[in-house]
């Protein structure tokens, strides 16, 4: 097989895996142990409450998903595998 075709196929495979895996958190947020921070309501008067956002680690923001520890582990694994693949691609390109 031609060297440039081999490199191209590995680069395509690397990016396709990254693209497909990036959809998992959107479709199945519990897969990685992610949790949804809904924010807080603060009482203004007896009958009215005001949304104040989500206070996570003393940072206020809109409601959003926060990563669970599995998400961080999966990210580190993916990053490690990507670096290994990039090194292999460079080594294939340097051959010959």
- pLDDT confidence of residue 52: 65
Over range 62-77, report the average pLDDT: 83
| Positive/negative CA dihedral, 71, 73, 76, 81 | negative
Q: Which tens digit of pLDDT belongs to each residue from 2-49?
A: 878 888 888 898 899 888 888 888 888 788 888 887 766 666 666 666
- pLDDT confidence of residue 56: 65
pTM of the model: 0.62
CB 36 within 8 A of CB 61: no
- pLDDT confidence of residue 14: 86
- pLDDT confidence of residue 20: 87
């Amino acid at each position: 097989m031609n060297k440039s075709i081999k490199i191209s196929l590995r680069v395509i495979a690397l990016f396709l895996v990254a693209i497909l895996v990036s959809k998992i958190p959107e479709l199945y947020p519990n897969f990685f142990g992610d949790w949804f921070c809904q924010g807080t309501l603060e009482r203004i008067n007896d009958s009215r409450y005001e949304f104040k956002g989500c206070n996570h680690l003393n940072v206020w923001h809109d409601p959003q998903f926060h990563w669970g520890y599995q998400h961080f582990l999966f990210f580190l694994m993916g990053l490690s595998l990507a670096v290994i693949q990039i090194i292999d691609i460079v080594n294939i390109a340097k051959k010959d």
